[in-house]
Amino acid sequence: MVHLWLRAETKSNEHRAALTPSACKELLNNGFQISVEKSADRIFDDEEYEQKGCTLVPTLSWKNAPDDAYIIGLKELPENDDSPLSHQHIFFAHCYKNQRGWKDILRRFIKGNGTILDLEFLVDEKGRRIAAFGYHAGFAGTALGLDVWAHQQIHPKQNFPSVEPYPDENVLINYVQNRLDGAVAVRGRYPRVMVMGALGRCGKGAVECARKSGIPEENIIKWDLEETKKGGPFKEILECDIFVNCIYLSQKIPPFLTKEMLDEGRQLSVIVDVSCDTTNPNNPIPVYSVNTTFNNPTVPIQTNNPHPIEVISIDHLPTLLPREASDYFDKDLLPTLLELKNRESSSVWQRAEKLFKEKCALVD
């Protein structure tokens, strides 16, 4: 019997779940055993899982889980811990693209003889991701970008406040529309929004959010491979008010923007780096170096231009809509989770394990 152990998330303001109650019910119906750590932060109540037949266990008790249990979660493992890890972990490890501290993470698994089955790298035979939060990342990032732009118009001397998750998309869109109404009354026009990577899952979410928020179609500039094939930097970005980066970075490319460009005349005042490759040495937006949070959503960029500019670089944007994002993700992930019953014959899981071993081989 396959045993999945849903761990409680420890990242601040993370409310999504790697397994929703409805997904758990389907897995239980297929002979899985599911343990769910209690969590006050998860968007789904503990009782929702219990009602589906899951076993509730203490928060952060996964280290004591049976050896054969798969520990499943979304974001990073608890910080300030370098103890060996012996279980098989399914989560977004963020250590395969030379991110800061990637070797330290892998060393813990090497020492404990554990395994990472990274959610980001569960792909089909064509290299396409099985499940991703991209759509909601783009949607949420654009909503925040529009909100920050509106704030700059209405309260130019005030810092942008902290942000809380929304119960659903309609509430979020209504809020953004109201904010835009106030900003347009001051500025006299809607912002121009450029979405980089507009044809991908993330980009489509960004474009859809802009449309639903009332941005005129002619103000939504959609760029993808065709528009960027000449290579950056791109001065066209400076002509927009909001730049939303939605590309999936897989190799080094010329930067889209440089710090020097921001000293020039520009309309640009908000950068939303949905891709958030902040610590990646190949980050195509090398104008900032820190991740922002829901408590502090923006970071200003110091330039020689009096026109202020802020960056949103939150690395778990979909938790702005935690219930919808979790449901959407699990709907795509569920068929692959069911394949854990015959993992040896599942090409998706075998590719994930092979990649983990290849990355471990790079650790000195």
Per the structure block, which two tokens stand in for 58?
């203490």
Q: Is 136 a catalytic residue?
A: no
263 is in an annotated binding site: no
d(CA 198, CA 135): 11
Q: Which of 75, 151, 204, 359 is catalytic?
A: 75
Pair 46, 39: CB distance under 8 Å: yes
Token pair of 83 as six digits: 């103890």
Does the annotation count 63 as an active-site position?
A: no
**Given the residues 94, 136, 212, 222, the one annotated as active site:** 94
The Cα-based distances of 15 to 10, 20, 72, 271 in angstroms read 10, 12, 15, 24
* Residue 200 annotated as part of some ligand binding site: yes
Q: CB–CB of 318/276 below 8 Å? A: no
**Alpha-carbon 248 to chain mean position:** 11
Q: Is 87 annotated as a binding residue?
A: no
In terms of C-beta density within 10 A (0-12 exposed, 13-18 middle, 19 or more buried), how is residue 189 classed? exposed
Cβ contact 231:218 at 8 Å: no
C-alpha to C-alpha distance for 229 and 209, rounded to whole angstroms: 26
Give the whole-angstrom CA distance, residue 342 versus residue 209.
39
Is 105 part of any known ligand binding site? no
Q: What is the largest CA-CA distance in the chain?
A: 63
Nearest to 309 by CA among 360, 351, 266: 266
The answer to whether the annotation marks 147 as part of a ligand binding site is no
Beta bridge partners of 245: 196, 273
**Does the annotation list 203 as a binding residue?**
no
- Two tokens at 222? 């959609």
Residues 6+ apart with CB under 8 A from 254: 231, 232, 233, 284
108 is in an annotated binding site: no
327 annotated ligand binder: no
Q: In what order do the strands lie in the sheet with 115-118?
A: 55-57, 33-37, 3-6, 70-72, 88-91, 115-118
Which amino acid is located at 277 in the chain? Answer: D
Cβ neighbours around 14 below 10 Å, total? 23
Q: Is 316 annotated as a binding residue?
A: yes
**Annotated binding residue 201:** yes
Residue 129, annotated ligand binder? no
Annotated binding site for NAD(+): 128, 200-201, 224, 228, 248, 274, 314-317
Binding residues are 128, 200-201, 224, 228, 248, 274, 314-317
Catalytic residues: 75, 94
